[in-house]
Amino acid sequence: MFSPSPDFEGSPGPLPPLCNVPPMAMPVITPSSNGQAFQSTVFQKPAERIGVLGTGTRGVDWLQRILMALQCPVQEEIDWAVSALLELSFRNADAFKQPGSEQALQLVLATITEHWDTATAAQTDLEERESGLVKRQFLSEALLTLRNACLDAKTAQLLAAEPATREVITRGMLLPREPLYSEIRGYAVEIAEHVCFHYMPEGPESPLMVALVNLLDSQDRSLVISSHRALGRLCVYDESNCIASLAIDHVHRLLRYLMVEDEELVSACLDLLYQYTARIQHVDDLVGENIKDDAMWVRDILSAHLVRLLTYKMDRERVEYVRLPRRTKRPAPAEPPSLPQTILDELLVLNEPERATNWIRASYEPDPDGEVTQISLWKAYEGQFEAHARQSGRRLLPAVDFIKNVTSAFRNAAAMVVNVGPNQKKFIIKGIRPREQAVSPSVYRNNPAALPDPRRRIPPPFGPTVALVLQNIARLHGGRQLLQPYIAAIADAAVVNPSLWGYVDALLSVIDKQK
């Protein structure tokens, strides 16, 4: 490798020595160095740009922007509009009640119809699969938008009036049972669940009827529930007996679903079973004399199990009668009890108004006939915590707020003004009295009986539907004979579930026709 020697003419010489010149400071005006110069400076507002298009205008609203994008021939604008409308349907439940929402849904339906064939077509090579994935994603978002819109009953009625809605949900439910189309099929059947109530059945061989029946034997729980609900609502106005297209195997599968511990599934199946048993010839197919020996289990489900469903998950309250000696109520103490240090420590760590509420519960107890004066209650509270309030610097709850807070401690307590004489009034708290011994707030909170308003068990919603199904069965002579051994259990169900009184009375009247 070539390296120039020190004697080479072209070699660079030594660098000159650096100059030892000290740096010079440059003066900078700051508020600390020259405050007067800053105070005399006047802010000059920059001149506004005049004549720029759109300056100072807000533009169209969000929904109008979506409408314009849906009408645009550019696919990117349509994709954005569908995504924006989907986000709007999640964020605002009343989004489809605004003016222009009906037109937006019509445009979404038209877009789905236009892109359906290309989004659901079979792809062979890799490039087609990637483009098909994007199109299916777009189709899924559009269907999910319609599904969210259908949650509103009025919007569902508007969508049902569109002919394209029936075509879209039918084609969606008739897609091949492949994981590739599971999301599209799920949204289609959920839309059908909400709009089928507004349809009239076109016949047992109509595409919508066939599509719903084909989903009854699905292994997907959501599809089974939604298809049963949709079919039950579609048959509400069934005048041509379209429900007769249900094969007996489908009905037997429906009856087996009634044995599953799933309230949503049982409720959906009972709705469809009620529509099926509304025609007496279908009841004869289930419990008549011509049924096969291997289908005798159907009678047990339509009798014993349906009677059990009348009181599903409801327990009879056991009443125990105990003879107790007559006791007289002890007079209430004149003053609240003194608090032990352990209870006082629990109260001191609390903030107002929680501390006032727990102190009232610790020192007083509910009594419908008891009463204390408001001034004595406030003085007892003030005397208990005034010293601590001075030390900690935290103020006590004001007297007015303290009196109002009594209702938070005891639901039935109330502040009252009582006339005790001419031009004399007495301010009292009705419904409480001092305890004989203080109760710790932790003990009171952990006692279920001390809760102010315990929630009762809500009866299952399908009890009336079960009673109506039993009424349909009892219209047949064989059905009345089948339910005859369960008359006592049916009458007892009305005692356990009082909401069934009217239904049970009508059912027993139908069964009694046999006599």
User: What percent of the chain is predicted at pLDDT more than 70?
Assistant: 85
Number of compact structural domains in the chain: 2
Do 78 and 195 have their domain in common? yes
Separate counts of helices (H) and strands (E) for the chain:
25, 3
Confidence check: pLDDT of 483 > 80: yes
Asked if residue 385 is part of any domain, the answer here is yes
Q: Report if residue 271 sits inside a domain.
A: no
Residue whose pair of structure tokens reads 């959501």 in the numeric block: 222
Higher pLDDT, 13 or 295: 295
Q: What is the mean pLDDT of residues 18-30?
A: 71
As a whole number of angstroms, the distance between CA 306 and CA 479 comes to 13
Q: What is the reported pLDDT for 451?
A: 47
Mean pLDDT score, 122-138: 72
pTM beyond cutoff 0.75 = no
Domain that holds residue 165: 62-245
Q: How many residues does the chain have?
A: 515
Do residue 235 and residue 87 come from a single domain?
yes
Indicate whether 230 and 84 sit together in one domain. Answer: yes
Which of 22-26, 67-71, 382-386 is the least confident region? 22-26
Among 97, 104, 101, CA closest to 81:
104
Last residue of a domain, one of 450, 469, 493: 450
Do the domain assignments include residue 263? no
Asked whether the beta carbons of 210 and 234 are under 8 A apart, the reply is no
Q: Is the pLDDT of residue 39 over 80?
A: no
Of 187, 215, 245, the domain-final residue? 245
pLDDT band at 51 (very low <50, low <70, confident <90, very high): low
User: Are 82 and 217 in the same domain?
Assistant: yes
- What CATH number is given to the structural domain containing 125? 1.25.10.10
Q: How far apart are CA 43 and CA 38, in angstroms?
A: 10
pLDDT over 90 (residue 419): no
Rounded to the nearest integer, the mean pLDDT of the chain is 82
Q: Domain containing 440 — which CATH number?
A: 1.10.10.10
Mean pLDDT of 479-507: 87
User: Per-residue pLDDT tens for 198-256?
Assistant: 988 888 888 899 999 999 988 999 999 999 999 999 988 888 888 888 888 899 999 99
pLDDT, position 166: 92
Q: Which of 450, 473, 491 is the last residue of a domain?
A: 450
Calculate Rg over the CA atoms of the chain. 39
Tell which wins on pLDDT, 39 or 476.
476
Is 511 in contact with 501 (CB distance < 8 Å)? no
Q: What share of the chain is helix, strand, coil (3-state, %, to 5)?
A: 60, 5, 35
pLDDT digits (tens, 9 = 90+) for 72-90: 889 899 999 999 999 888 8
| 77 and 212 together in one domain | yes
C-beta separation of 308 from 300 below 8 A: no
pLDDT bracket for residue 268 (50, 70, 90):
very high
Q: Structure tokens of 82?
A: 């569908």
Position 2 in a domain: no
